[in-house]
Structure 1
Amino acid sequence: MINNKIVNQKIRKNATVKITSLLNKAVGIIFSSKAAQVDGSYENGCEVATPEMVLDWLADGYNYSNADIRLYGDVLTVDLKYGSSEKFEAYFKQEEFDVISNKLFNKAHESEAVALIPVGNARPILN
């Protein structure tokens, strides 16, 4: 971030030294994905990633030819042009990474099993 303005900087995908350097400076990287289901809904997932995971993803021929790598302020994003079902976000500020990861992972844990309030003598149902 320069002068409190968010900088949107495109990074060449063949700038492997710069990409590797940025990934190694990140305090945390989050990989998120979504997959369409037969019923039209989406299944979302996220996990903490490593620089090696990002570089391996970029090493895939299809991903490399369609990669879109940008630095938005203090966040490096790596995904495919025109939107994607897979995305890496590398954070350079610990506070920002903590806030985002807590939101993502607490939300994921909350959706795993939700107890519905029983009515009358019925037993609780877990979704």
Structure 2
Amino acid sequence: MRRNQIIGVSAAYSVAAIAAMTFRREVFDYETLSRQVTFWHALAASVPYVLIDLALLIACLRTWNYSNSWRRALVALLVFVIYLVFSAVTMLHAPSWHIFHVLILLAVCVFLAGLFLSSLLESQRERESA
């Protein structure tokens, strides 16, 4: 059940990111700053980056039992914190889509920190009861 919730939350963030960027006709390159692009071009340019984020998250968290998966959650948290730091450092003169992407990564890191703590506490409880 928790796996479906994680995938659902990730998919919701992805859909929100794609919708926000494509409705404003923003794309992931610096050559179209005048926003003279079509909706479909913006969508085609935005989708791969969001899918990479989602695939990375699912690859880190692909397990059915979260009671003993605190290590996997910790690895996912570390991967996304490094990704967040790299994205935040490159944000100085970036367009608004990049700032929005950094905010999404920040939300994913907070979510992964909660997942890590939850899994660690659940694992500790199982160890004490055994």
Indicate whether the TM-score tops 0.5: no
| Structure whose alpha-carbon radius of gyration is higher | 1
TM-score, normalization: structure 1? 0.28
Higher strand proportion: 1
Higher helix proportion: 2
